A and B are shown apart, each in its own frame.
Chain A
Amino acid sequence: MVSTQAQTGVGAEHGASWDDAPYPVLVADAQDSVVLRNDAATVLLPGAHPGTRFADVVPGWLAEAHAAVRVPGPRTGQEPDAEPPCPPLSGTIGERSFEAHPSVRADGAVTWWLIDDTDHVLAREALDMERRRTAFLAEASSMLLSSLNLGRCMDVTAQLAAEHLADAALVIAPTHGRRLPVVTCPRGGGPSTSHESADPDEVPGLGEALRGFPPVPSRWIDPSSAPAWMVPEDFGTVGSIVITPLPGHGVPAGALVLLRRSGGAAFTDSEEVFARLFAARAGAAMSAARLYAEQTSITDVLMRELLPPSLHQISGVDYAGGYRPSADHERIGGDFYDVHPAAVEGDASLITLGDVCGKGLEAAVLTGKIRNTLHALLPLADDHQRMISLLNTALLNSHHTRFVTLVLASAVREGSGVSLRLTSAGHPTPLIIRADGTVEEAQTRGTLVGAMPHAPARTTALTLAPGESCVLYTDGITEAEGGPLGGSHFGEQRLKRVLSECAGMPSESIVERVQMLASQWIGRGRHDDMAVVVISAPRTHHLSAVNGHTRGRFTA
């Protein structure tokens, strides 16, 4: 191409061919005078009449390039090692951008071809900008989503925004009570958290952004109207402030405040759009973290509410209980037990142990409902069948057939023994450990509760002599899978053998032994919830010693 131009220049019959050239062309001779220009160059540089000094009529960058090309002598124009604009030669003329291609003739004259690349430059700048933004958003997403900690999400959001979008950034979370949690981060600094006792509605746009409804766009506010807490210390004069809502998953996640110093560039439209894109990612991450935190706290609350109680001696009857949920990290599940002391001394206490169908949190919620219902029915505790029927009615539901199987036991000390009434509602039969080591099944049977219109059950009455115990358990024990070869159930027979070896043992020891053996049986395998409650008649002549060792003794 260069050689073609040179030929054209050499064969200069300065006619129509020059003027037809699509690009502006200027020729300057060895004395730096303009000798020729075509029509396009006339339009572009109206002052460059032939005969004028080249350096006087073209922009500085082109004059420098011209000097640099000419000095080393005649050769095909590549910019020499002076310091003209970076390769390729380019610069602006008027408002547009040009590339300049020189070709040097044998006589030292230089022909300058000027090619308009304004659009190309704009497109490249836009592309670079988009690439930087995309890279930033990708970085932001991966940093934000790697944390489910709300405080950390706010820190990261403020830090990223301060680094890429503004001179300082504030992240404000929706208020809890009267104080606004605020994370402030100046550019180049670290995020710091504070709680401002400020009314967000005093700052235009902030209240709406924090409420999340109605949705508000980013909002410019007058820097002078910003309260003092919004401006970091030593920030200087604020030039512009924009408040952008952080949209969450259906809930507002907070607001992002961007500040720029006066004297710097204000926010452009495209920067504002970009800030919104960033805000959408930050908001999603923050609301995910918030939901996670809420869920964790709900689980904590439920756990505290649903954990089985620790048992002890009540009114001369020994109680002990043990519970192991199916997943060890869950701590709550579908098994439950409670001991309700009698309202009047001398009446029977009510012991409940049950197993709700299902596992985990869903089962735990139903468990809570059942325990509450049974608690409310305590005045009827004398009539097990009536309690079960009322519970059945309360649980019956057209949407599902979730049920509970349970055992009700009423226990009262009578002389040195304990008189028991037992009712099983579709639950594994309670086992009685007699003093001589025989293990009996209690003669009670009934249907499960909550899935069928009626829940009939048969109650049995018996007496525990001193040292004898009644064991209530859930099928998690008998159906524990494992054993030396794996895959076999712990089973009722094995449980009975274990219990017969427990004759005469205190209730707590029996619970511990059953739990220990079942856990050993399972090894590391999967298991269901496992609950055991033991009701014992204390050995009379050991009573004082037993009492001395029993935790939380209740005096009779």
Chain B
Amino acid sequence: MTTTPPAHLRLSTDDTEDADDAGDTVRIELQGDLDHDTADGLLAAVTTVLGDHPRLDDLHLHCAGLGTVDSLGLSVLLMIRRRTGHAGVRLHLDDRPAALDRLLALTGTLDHLTTSSATAAGPFGAEDPPRTGGNGKAMTVRPTGPDGTT
């Protein structure tokens, strides 16, 4: 199965439906730049996958063919992480190019994006990200007091 997103980023989706209890795995191969023009296409593709596979356990984004990732590309990866987290799906960014690793390290998002949601720890080992199970819209985990974290 192949979805056709906007130019410069080609996505090929490949699902493995396991009959046993191992659950479903979907692998999306990213080929090209993930930027201002193409990021929404990836988000749409992932949203479709999540909708189509209610029993999904693992989502692999295969990044070896990934070119430039700009700030909007990173923003979409964070959104995908949020959506998979809500759906209880483990997100894997496989075969990351060095440039992507550098970007994720610099922005402090490496742990957040690569720690599978089942055992998710916040970046820098902080407590869990806001996966308030089932409470999909309650993403704005706003601490009641002004002093939320430190």
| A interface residues with partner B (beta carbon < 8 Å) | 334, 355-359, 385-386, 389-390, 392-393, 396-398, 400-403, 405, 425-429, 445-448, 451-457, 528
Show 8 A/B contacts (Cβ-Cβ < 8 Å), sorted by A: A357-B74, A357-B75, A390-B146, A448-B109, A453-B122, A453-B126, A453-B141, A454-B122
Given contacts A396-B141, A402-B75, 13 further A-B contacts (CB under 8 A): A358-B72, A358-B75, A398-B137, A401-B79, A425-B108, A447-B123, A448-B74, A452-B122, A452-B129, A453-B141, A454-B124, A454-B148, A528-B70
Q: A359-B36, A452-B112, A454-B149 are in contact. Are A426 and B122 (CB under 8 A)?
A: no
A-side contacts of B142, CB under 8 Å: 393, 396
- A452 contact from B36, B123, B140, Cβ within 8 A: B123
CA distance A528 to B68 in the complex (A): 13
Tell whether, in the assembled complex, residue A451 and residue B78 are in contact, meaning their CB atoms are under 8 Å apart. Answer: yes
CA distance A457 to B108 in the complex (A): 9
Q: A359-B36, A386-B150, A396-B142 are in contact. Are A451 and B75 (CB under 8 A)?
A: yes
CA distance A457 to B124 in the complex (A): 9
Is B87 among interface residues, defined by CB-CB distance under 8 A?
no
Tell whether, in the assembled complex, residue B141 and residue A426 are in contact, meaning their CB atoms are under 8 Å apart. Answer: no
Tell whether, in the assembled complex, residue A426 and residue B106 are in contact, meaning their CB atoms are under 8 Å apart. Answer: yes
A-side contacts of B137, CB under 8 Å: 398
Is B48 among interface residues, defined by CB-CB distance under 8 A?
no
A-side contacts of B36, CB under 8 Å: 358-359
Is B134 among interface residues, defined by CB-CB distance under 8 A?
no
Tell whether, in the assembled complex, residue A456 and residue B140 are in contact, meaning their CB atoms are under 8 Å apart. Answer: no
State which residues 98-150 of B face A: CB under 8 Å: 106-109, 112, 122-124, 126-127, 129-130, 137-143, 146-150
In angstroms, how far is the closest chain A Cβ from the Cβ of B63?
Answer: 18
In angstroms, how far is the closest chain A Cβ from the Cβ of B125?
Answer: 9
A-side contacts of B107, CB under 8 Å: 405, 426, 447-448
B-side contacts of A446, CB under 8 Å: 108
In angstroms, how far is the closest chain A Cβ from the Cβ of B115?
Answer: 12
State which residues 49-102 of B face A: CB under 8 Å: 70-72, 74-76, 78-79, 82
CA distance A452 to B72 in the complex (A): 15
In angstroms, how far is the closest chain B Cβ from the Cβ of A274?
Answer: 46
In angstroms, how far is the closest chain A Cβ from the Cβ of B80?
Answer: 9
B-side contacts of A334, CB under 8 Å: 71
- A403 contact from B70, B75, B126, B130, Cβ within 8 A: B75
In angstroms, how far is the closest chain A Cβ from the Cβ of B143?
Answer: 6
Q: Which 8 residue pairs across A and B have the least CB separation, nearest first?
A: A447-B108, A398-B139, A357-B71, A426-B107, A401-B78, A401-B79, A389-B149, A448-B107
CA distance A429 to B107 in the complex (A): 10
CA distance A334 to B127 in the complex (A): 31
| B interface residues with partner A (beta carbon < 8 Å) | 36, 70-72, 74-76, 78-79, 82, 106-109, 112, 122-124, 126-127, 129-130, 137-143, 146-150
CA distance A552 to B123 in the complex (A): 43
In angstroms, how far is the closest chain B Cβ from the Cβ of A362?
Answer: 10
Tell whether, in the assembled complex, residue A426 and residue B109 are in contact, meaning their CB atoms are under 8 Å apart. Answer: yes
In angstroms, how far is the closest chain B Cβ from the Cβ of A385?
Answer: 5
Q: A357-B72, A389-B148 are in contact. Are A456 and B123 (CB under 8 A)?
A: yes
A-side contacts of B76, CB under 8 Å: 401
CA distance A403 to B142 in the complex (A): 16
A-side contacts of B126, CB under 8 Å: 453-454, 456
In angstroms, how far is the closest chain A Cβ from the Cβ of B106?
Answer: 7
CA distance A358 to B70 in the complex (A): 9
Q: A452-B109, A454-B122 are in contact. Are A389 and B79 (CB under 8 A)?
A: no
Tell whether, in the assembled complex, residue A400 and residue B149 are in contact, meaning their CB atoms are under 8 Å apart. Answer: no
In angstroms, how far is the closest chain A Cβ from the Cβ of B17?
Answer: 29
- A389 contact from B71, B108, B150, Cβ within 8 A: B150
In angstroms, how far is the closest chain A Cβ from the Cβ of B50?
Answer: 16
Tell whether, in the assembled complex, residue A385 and residue B150 are in contact, meaning their CB atoms are under 8 Å apart. Answer: yes
Among B106, B109, B143, B147, max chain A CB count under 10 A is at: B106
CA distance A128 to B130 in the complex (A): 72
Among B79, B108, B122, B129, max chain A CB count under 10 A is at: B108
Tell whether, in the assembled complex, residue B71 and residue A355 are in contact, meaning their CB atoms are under 8 Å apart. Answer: yes
CA distance A452 to B129 in the complex (A): 7
Among B76, B129, B130, B149, max chain A CB count under 10 A is at: B149
- B129 contact from A398, A453, A455, Cβ within 8 A: A453
Tell whether, in the assembled complex, residue B130 and residue A453 are in contact, meaning their CB atoms are under 8 Å apart. Answer: yes
Tell whether, in the assembled complex, residue B108 and residue A393 are in contact, meaning their CB atoms are under 8 Å apart. Answer: no
CA distance A427 to B71 in the complex (A): 11
CA distance A425 to B149 in the complex (A): 15
CA distance A213 to B31 in the complex (A): 53
A-side contacts of B75, CB under 8 Å: 357-358, 400-403, 451
- B147 contact from A386, A427, A447, Cβ within 8 A: A386
A-side contacts of B70, CB under 8 Å: 528
Tell whether, in the assembled complex, residue A400 and residue B150 are in contact, meaning their CB atoms are under 8 Å apart. Answer: no
CA distance A453 to B79 in the complex (A): 13
Tell whether, in the assembled complex, residue B123 and residue A454 are in contact, meaning their CB atoms are under 8 Å apart. Answer: yes
In angstroms, how far is the closest chain B Cβ from the Cβ of A492?
Answer: 10
A-side contacts of B149, CB under 8 Å: 389, 392, 454-456
CA distance A397 to B5 in the complex (A): 26
CA distance A380 to B72 in the complex (A): 30
CA distance A446 to B122 in the complex (A): 13
Tell whether, in the assembled complex, residue A456 and residue B124 are in contact, meaning their CB atoms are under 8 Å apart. Answer: yes
B-side contacts of A393, CB under 8 Å: 142-143, 146, 148
CA distance A528 to B143 in the complex (A): 35
Chain B residue at minimum C-beta to C-beta distance from A528 = B70
A-side contacts of B148, CB under 8 Å: 389-390, 392-393, 454
A-side contacts of B147, CB under 8 Å: 386, 389-390
CA distance A386 to B106 in the complex (A): 20
CA distance A425 to B106 in the complex (A): 9
CA distance A405 to B78 in the complex (A): 14
In angstroms, how far is the closest chain B Cβ from the Cβ of A391?
Answer: 11
A-side contacts of B72, CB under 8 Å: 357-358
Tell whether, in the assembled complex, residue A445 and residue B108 are in contact, meaning their CB atoms are under 8 Å apart. Answer: yes
B-side contacts of A528, CB under 8 Å: 70
B-side contacts of A385, CB under 8 Å: 150
CA distance A400 to B141 in the complex (A): 14
Among A355, A386, A397, A456, max chain B CB count under 10 A is at: A456
Chain A residue at minimum C-beta to C-beta distance from B79 = A401
In angstroms, how far is the closest chain A Cβ from the Cβ of B105?
Answer: 9
- B109 contact from A359, A400, A429, A447, Cβ within 8 A: A447
